[in-house]
Amino acid sequence: MSVLRTSGPARAGQYLALLAYLVFLAFPFLWLISTAFKPAPELASLHPTWIPKDPTLDNFRQAFGEQPLLRAAANSLVAAVAAALIAVAVATPLAYVTARHRGRLASAATGWVVISQAFPFVLVIIPLFLILKNLHLINSGPGLVLVYVVWSLPFALWMLMGYVRAVPAELEEAAAVDGAGRLRTLVSVTAPLLVPGIVATALFAFVTAWNEFFFALVLLKTPEKQTLPVVLTHFLGAEGVADLGPLAAAAFLATLPSLLVFAVLQRRITGGMLAGAVKS
Amino acid sequence: MRRPLLTCVAALALLLTGCTTGSEGPDDGVVRLRFQSLAWQQESVDANRELVKEWNATHPDVQVDYVQGSWDSVHDQLLTSFEGGEAPDIIHDASDDLADFAYGGDLADLRPLLSARLRADIPARSWETTTFGEGVYGVPFLQEPRVIIANRRILESSGVRVPTPEKPWSWTEFRQITQDLTRSMGPGRYAVAWPLKEPVSVSLNLGLSAGGQLFHRESDGRVTVRFTEADAVVPGTVHDQVVTDRTAPRTTLGSGGSDTLPGLFAGKYAMVPLGFAYRQQIAQQAPKGFEWTVLPAPAGSAGLTQGVSPQTLSIAESSPHKKEAAAFLDFFLRPGNMVRLARGDWMLPTGTAALADPALHTARDGWATGAAVAEKLSPAPAQSVRGYPEWKDKVATPAFQEFYSGAIDTAELRRRLVEDGNRVLARYQRR
């Protein structure tokens, strides 16, 4: 096995580029945190500072006082977790079948994935609304979860197909030779190797549902059921005017669950897939 | 492996049980109306909620559920709700968003529903903003003129004449004063900052003061765009301030109103033309000791006239309880209540009785200036023009943006607004 070596300056350049990219990614989040702790006069300063001169929790107090953020966060959490679990539960066997049995089905599935990602929300929302209405699923959590599952399923399937293909078929064949049945092979050999992929896919479905705004806005009618992204828009007025401090405070809180989930599950995702599975 | 699977299924079942299904409410003979409000500032939300609470306390048979919506997405949300037959009974929106819903039969014609008191209290010019064809499809109740928020110290120390609603600046005088002011303020500072993220509504609405109309309804009912000398006055002034005189910075042209406030507070700009409701942000965010004042927008041949698209309350055509909804509107928009709503939103009421309330004529926070301008407010020029949103987005916004930044001249602006614009409008007016 050959190892790709890079020279010192090239490596320094790579690290520099990586650092620049990280700064680019982190900037909006750090600015959000800074804004959330700034008092109103500092928010309106011509010379904004990274670290608030006079940090305050007023924006958080105001945000929680004005809007039911906790209830909205709970609604979002329930919808996002449910959508993620159902999406991986449905997508995993589908992905396995599609990846292992290449042919027209796999091509059709891939085509469906590509096409489904091209539809803008506004195009599908009205027929979807009518269907859900007929099913009495307007203004209901299950209705919203159903939409999120359908919406994230194609991409989840696509992701998982890649993970399934990365599991060598030889492993399953070896298990079969050793006398394991089909189900036993899937449960004891293939499934454990797919765990990082399933976790990554679930994360994708979770984050998609957690951040989703438009479906929640249109499908949920009563304030008690509104999700966090919908409630966040209540800090916005006409023509883009915003109650910036409370909005930043609420938005900061809204990013925390995603970060926590990533932090907790990171090892699951990055932990060497197939580590020790194949002797070289 | 079986245990984790069972745990997952159980957790999922629990989660889905947690998401309870929607219900239409108990069948107890009580009429329930859903009122979707776009109020967003806390004072305004409080005023709305209090009024709903007062109504509910005195009308046990007709209960109103308050639902907060969002300005950001109201059009798409309503469109979907109307198509799906799930629209709120009472709808808060802006008059310039109503045309398609009114022509589409989604909103109830309010003429047979509204009380004579309410009809008489609101002036005809405001009713025009919600009249489409023969019907009236919304009650205009709050309006927001464009004013100039000025740094009082800079203005007064410079010695320029401070305008009043009785004796406003003309557009020519305004241009001259911004030249004098910029000179006296020193380098890096500007007399005026134009936040023109939405250049079309600013140009059209202020353009009425100079007699500009842009949209002309012909005898056959068709609307065409014409760009006359009067239409060129306001855009020409702004263009010259930015490009020729350098009395207005180019950098704020793509900004929203809020983005210019730090510069106003820091003395970088002496004046910023803004919507009347921005006073709330200024009162809240201005540093201690910052002295500000509210000036009327410059006047042209038509005086202080300017276009507005009032906030409106409509009733869904699909609502089975239109009479009850209209009764709620009558209560909600009583003069005293209209004052509470106006103060909560830092806007002006359309109702004549509410507008006469002394609370709206105090000099504090510039209320008196706005109240004095109120009687000169007219329907925005594009109010009922079908195809206006497309004309605005595809033709007018880029054309005005390029004109104000100096990329194109008046002739090219005219060509685009008129030739390209009329092609767009024609598609909406085919019979």
pLDDT 10s digits, A216-235: 998 998 889 999 999 999 88
Cβ-Cβ contacts under 8 Å, B380 against chain A: none
Comparing C-alpha atoms, which of A82, A146, A220 is closest to residue B14? Answer: A82
Q: Report ipTM for this prediction.
A: 0.76
Nearest CA distance, B266 vs chain A (angstrom)? 6
> Which pair of tokens denotes residue A80?
């996002």
Residue in chain B lying closest to A215 (CA): B77
Please answer yes or no on whether B15 and A85 come within 8 Å at the CB atom. Answer: yes
Q: What is the pLDDT of residue B3?
A: 46
Nearest CA distance, A280 vs chain B (angstrom)? 29
Cβ-Cβ contacts under 8 Å, A126 against chain B: 79-80, 83-84
One-letter amino acid for residue B177 of the chain:
I
- Angle A264-A266-A272 (CA atoms, 0-180°, nearest 5)? 135
Nearest CA distance, A15 vs chain B (angstrom)? 35
Please answer yes or no on whether A222 and B65 come within 8 Å at the CB atom. Answer: yes
Distance CA B105, CA B137 (A): 10
Mutate to test the interface with A, among B7, B35, B40 (most CBs of A within 10 A): B40
Please answer yes or no on whether B16 and A81 come within 8 Å at the CB atom. Answer: no
Q: What is the pLDDT of residue B14?
A: 45
Comparison of pLDDT for B207 and A7, the residue scoring more? B207
Mutate to test the interface with B, among A42, A126, A184, A239 (most CBs of B within 10 A): A239
Nearest CA distance, A261 vs chain B (angstrom)? 17
| Segment A70-75 mean pLDDT | 95
Distance CA B235, CA B252 (A): 16
Comparing C-alpha atoms, which of B126, B44, B39, B35 is closest to residue B340? Answer: B44
> Which pair of tokens denotes residue B319?
């609502």
Distance CA B137, CA A140 (A): 31
Which among B42, B84, B261 has CB closest to A66?
Answer: B42
Q: What is the pLDDT of residue A109?
A: 72
Task: Please check the confidence at residue A91 and state whether its pLDDT lies above 80.
Answer: yes
Q: Mind spelling out the 3-state secondary structure of A194-241?
A: HHHHHHHHHHHHHHHHHHCCHHHHHHCCCHHHCCHHHHHHHHECHHHC
Please answer yes or no on whether B18 and A243 come within 8 Å at the CB atom. Answer: no
Contact A215, A126 (CB under 8 A): no
Nearest CA distance, A11 vs chain B (angstrom)? 40
| pLDDT class of A269 with cuts at 50, 70, 90 | low
List residues bridging with B274 in a β-sheet: B147
Which among B65, B86, B258 has CB closest to A241?
Answer: B258
| pLDDT class of A248 with cuts at 50, 70, 90 | very high
> Which pair of tokens denotes residue B161?
């004449």
| pLDDT class of A61 with cuts at 50, 70, 90 | very high
Residues B54-98: pLDDT tens digits? 999 999 999 999 999 988 889 888 988 998 888 999 999 999 889
Which among A66, A188, A221 has CB closest to B86?
Answer: A221
Residues A94-124: pLDDT tens digits? 888 888 877 777 777 777 777 777 777 777 7
Distance CA A242, CA B48 (A): 19
Contact B421, B257 (CB under 8 A): no
Cβ-Cβ contacts under 8 Å, A62 against chain B: 42
Q: What is the pLDDT of residue B322?
A: 97
The size of the A-B interface in CB pairs under 8 A is 145
> Which pair of tokens denotes residue B229?
């000398």
Nearest CA distance, A206 vs chain B (angstrom)? 14
Q: What is the pLDDT of residue A70?
A: 94
Which among B18, B34, B79 has CB closest to A141?
Answer: B18
Comparing C-alpha atoms, which of B405, B148, B384 is closest to residue B279? Answer: B148
> Which pair of tokens denotes residue B271?
């004046």
Residue in chain A lying closest to B89 (CA): A221
Distance CA A36, CA A60 (A): 7
Cβ-Cβ contacts under 8 Å, B66 against chain A: 223
Residues A177-221: pLDDT tens digits? 888 888 888 888 888 888 888 998 999 899 999 999 989 998 998
Q: What is the pLDDT of residue B17?
A: 44
Comparison of pLDDT for B419 and A155, the residue scoring more? B419
Q: What is the pLDDT of residue B382?
A: 82
Low-confidence ranges of chain B (pLDDT < 50): 1-24
Please answer yes or no on whether B262 and A233 come within 8 Å at the CB atom. Answer: no
Mean residue pLDDT of chain A comes to: 85
Nearest CA distance, B341 vs chain A (angstrom)? 15
Residue in chain A lying closest to B71 (CA): A238
Which among A66, A86, A236 has CB closest to B12?
Answer: A86
One-letter amino acid for residue B346 of the chain:
W
Please answer yes or no on whether A238 and B65 come within 8 Å at the CB atom. Answer: no
Q: What is the pLDDT of residue A10?
A: 85
Comparing C-alpha atoms, which of B368, B233, B358 is closest to residue B296? Answer: B368
User: Which are the contacts of B57, defined by CB distance < 8 A and separation ≥ 6?
Assistant: none
Which among B15, B77, B256 has CB closest to A78?
Answer: B15
